[in-house]
Amino acid sequence: MKNKDRNSDYPYKLIEQNYRTQNVPIPTLQSFLFDFYGEGRDPSIPYLKINQKGNIEVEGLAVLKKDRLGLILDQKESFLYKILRGRVIRGQTEFNIHKGQSRDTAILAILYGKNKKSIRNNGSKSKVTFNITVNGMVKDFPDWLDLRKKQNNLLLKKQLEKQMKKDFEKLFVKFQKQQVDPLGIGDLARAYSKKWNEKEFYEKVYPTIAMEINLKIELSHAGMGE
């Protein structure tokens, strides 16, 4: 179907579908305005693109800095962002697995999870901690990895956790470098300090803030597939 055959409902449905099962974080007007007007947070909106075939697709996520485009996240990054943001933890992404000589990719689908953020305010030594537990399943894994075996399962879990942790940290550093705060770290710092100044926080504290992630992945339906 070409774009002109579709009605105006299509982008709306597309975004909603991507929110429900894929990597778009909550796309309501309320959540946008909440972030837009709220102190210590930057808004993000789904980034749509017309691909070579002439179809609209969700390319990723656009993070705004005040009212300008600050940063564009690709699919994987918006997947990670959706988990870091919390509340609605869902989505799927590709990842690498290796065992001995063999390497391959598989797909991880996150079904639900929990995310608790906490902050320690201490000037330039401030630290944010994310305690994340996600439940998911692995799809399309290679034949050489028999997931019915427990040790393979464990191996997969360890590799996943390591990779995701690294990716989370990379994404966080990216936010810091671009001076955008779609995670609302500033708001978190405001909530747990007596006095808080938005400008001062983003000039002094935000670029140096450390991040710690305690990630736990539980693969519930591992081994199932078509």
Residues that bind other proteins (CB under 8 A): 28, 30-31, 33-39, 41, 187-188, 190-195
To the nearest whole angstrom, how small is the minimum distance from the Cβ of residue 12 to other proteins?
Answer: 12
Q: Please state the closest distance from residue 9 (CB atom) to other proteins, in A.
A: 12
In the complex with other proteins, which residue's Cβ is closer, 10 or 36? 36
Q: How many CA atoms lie within 13 A of 178 on its CB side?
A: 21
**Smaller CB separation from other proteins, 100 or 123:** 123
Catalogue the long-range contacts made by 52-59 (C-beta closer than 8 Å, 24 or more residues apart): 54/2, 54/3, 55/2, 55/3, 56/3, 56/10, 56/11, 56/14, 57/14, 58/14, 58/15, 58/18, 58/22, 58/23, 58/24
Q: Shortest Cβ distance from residue 50 to other proteins (Å)?
A: 28
Q: Smaller CB distance to other proteins: residue 41 or 110?
A: 41
At closest approach, how far in Å is the CB of 42 from other proteins? Answer: 12
Q: How far is the CB of 131 from other proteins (least distance, A)?
A: 15
Nearer to other proteins, 31 or 159 (CB): 31
Q: Looking at beta carbons only, is 137 or 188 nearer to other proteins?
A: 188
Closer residue to other proteins (CB): 46 or 186: 186
Whole-number minimum distance, CB 188 to other proteins, in Å?
7
